[in-house]
Amino acid sequence: MPTEPKNQRQSDPQGWRMDPIPSRQAYWDVDGNIRVPMWLTKNGRHMAETEMVLLPSEAALMADNLTNAMRDNARSVLHELLRDSATALAPGVVLVSKAEQYQP
C-alpha cells in the first residue's frame, strides 16, 4: 500500500533566520557598540551563535520600530486579556478598574 510523503510542519521556518538568545542580555562593548547575542538557524536547524553589532543610533531606531510594532497590536492583546475592565491610556499605560469587584 503506498504511503503519503511526509509533510514538513508548517511552523518550521525555511531559509536563514536570526533569533535573540533569551538567556543572554544585550550589552555595550568597549567601542560603544551594542551587541545582541543571536542564534542563526537554517531551515529550522541551529547553525551558529553570533552577535548583532549595532551603533547606538541603529539600536535606538530598532527599539522605536519594535515599540511601534507592539503598540499597533497592544490594544487587541489587552482587550483579550482584560476584556472590558481595562482602558489603554497611553502606550504602556493601562488603567484597570476594580470597582465592580467591591460592589455589595
pLDDT digits (tens, 9 = 90+) for 20-67: 898 999 999 999 999 999 999 998 889 999 999 999 999 999 888 888
Residue 4 falls inside a structural domain? no
Number of domains in the chain: 2
Residue 78 falls inside a structural domain? yes
Cβ(64)–Cβ(40) under 8 Å? no
pLDDT for the residue 66:
81
Residue 3 falls inside a structural domain? no
Residue 44 falls inside a structural domain? yes
pLDDT for the residue 37:
93
Q: Give, for 52, the enclosing helix (H) or strand (E).
A: strand 45-54
Residue 7 falls inside a structural domain? no
Pair 95, 68 in one domain: yes
User: 15: which DSSP letter?
Assistant: S
- Domain range for residue 68? 57-104
Pair 87, 47 in one domain: no
Residue 5 falls inside a structural domain? no
pLDDT for the residue 97:
63
Most confident by average pLDDT, 6-10, 21-25, 97-101: 21-25
Residues 65-85 have a mean pLDDT of 65
Pair 71, 50 in one domain: no
Most confident by average pLDDT, 31-45, 69-83, 87-101: 31-45
Q: Which residue has the higher pLDDT, 71 or 97?
A: 71
Residue 50 falls inside a structural domain? yes
